[in-house]
Amino acid sequence: MGDHIRRGEEFEKKADKKINGWGLLGSKYEDAADLLTQSANQFKLAKSWDKAGSVFIKLSNCHLKLDSRHEAATAYVDAASCYKKTSTKGAISCYLQAVDIYVDMGRYSNAAKYCKEIGDLYELEQNSDKAIMYFEKAADYFEFQESNSLANKCKLKVAEISAQLEQYQKAIQIYEDVARQSLNNNLLKYGVRGHLLNAGICQLCRGDVVAITNALEQYENLDPTFSRTREYKFLSVSGCFSIIRLAIFHALYVIELLCAVLSLFFQHFEFMDVIAYC
């Protein structure tokens, strides 16, 4: 491991000399890029992830000097992969640089892929708002490339996080939209019942009995086979329990009001008895 670090440092020093020395611009940056690639690989072998990441960033800058944007973006992605092991912030920063380059080049599939990576990292950091933002960006880029299956995966992540944040209406809308899209695809239609189940659970969490009933009717119209599934039966039974629970809650509330009225009534007569006694 020590040998790998020593070799990595030697290659990096040689690269720095090339960059800072005299010579044709193109030639010296090409030579430096080769040396930095070797340096970064040595640091990776030594599992010196921060150092490998910083060298990959240097490598990206060399590629940008050579106007090799694809190679520059790749180097930023390599840097991010190293930083993921030690610094989420560093990894996100490098992925953002790569995304900017890919968007500028019109490589939207690559931009989407790394926006999703950023979303995953923010989710691990429990930064839900940022995670949602980058999953939504990833979905937009995938849709732009007509990669609807990948776009839907990102949308479902948004729905999942939104539900955890109790943003149920947003989650419901996404689950229902994805279910509609999936019905038109033979490979995806088997996931429809799961999406409708998740939408229904979010409806139950809202506690709106009318909305639950209407949603089940809507889901039957959307997919006539849904009413024969276990998912539908679960939502129906849960909806009935919600109605019963709501009815019990209202009944208890009425009883509580009646008790309060009776208490005031008896207190009034006790007060009148005291006055009469005096």
pLDDT tens column, 101-146 = 999 999 999 999 999 999 999 999 999 999 999 999 999 999 999 9
- The predicted model gives 158-186 an average pLDDT of 94
User: Domain for residue 150, yes or no?
Assistant: no
User: Domain for residue 140, yes or no?
Assistant: no
Percent of the chain at pLDDT exceeding 90: 63
Whether 272 has a pLDDT exceeding 70, the answer reads no
Whether 85 has a pLDDT exceeding 90, the answer reads yes
User: Domain boundary at 66, 83, 100, which?
Assistant: 83
User: Domain boundary at 57, 83, 109, which?
Assistant: 83
User: Domain for residue 167, yes or no?
Assistant: yes
User: Domain for residue 121, yes or no?
Assistant: no
d(CA 251, CA 148): 49
Top pLDDT among 30 and 231 is at 30
User: Domain for residue 116, yes or no?
Assistant: no
- The predicted model gives 206-212 an average pLDDT of 79
User: Domain boundary at 34, 51, 83, which?
Assistant: 83
User: Domain for residue 144, yes or no?
Assistant: no
Q: ∠ at Cα 75 (40, 79), nearest 5°? A: 65
CB 218 within 8 A of CB 199: no
Q: What is the pLDDT of residue 64?
A: 96
Percent of the chain at pLDDT exceeding 70: 83
Q: Please write the tens of the pLDDT for every residue from 43-78.
A: 999 999 999 999 999 999 999 999 999 999 999 999
Q: What is the pLDDT of residue 188?
A: 84
- The domain in which residue 182 lies consists of 162-278
Write the CATH number for 73.
1.25.40
Question: Whole-number mean pLDDT of the chain?
Answer: 86
Q: 204 falls in which pLDDT band (50, 70, 90)?
A: confident
CB 94 within 8 A of CB 121: no
What is the tally of structural domains in the chain? 2
**CB burial of residue 140 (10 Å; 0-12, 13-18, 19+):** middle
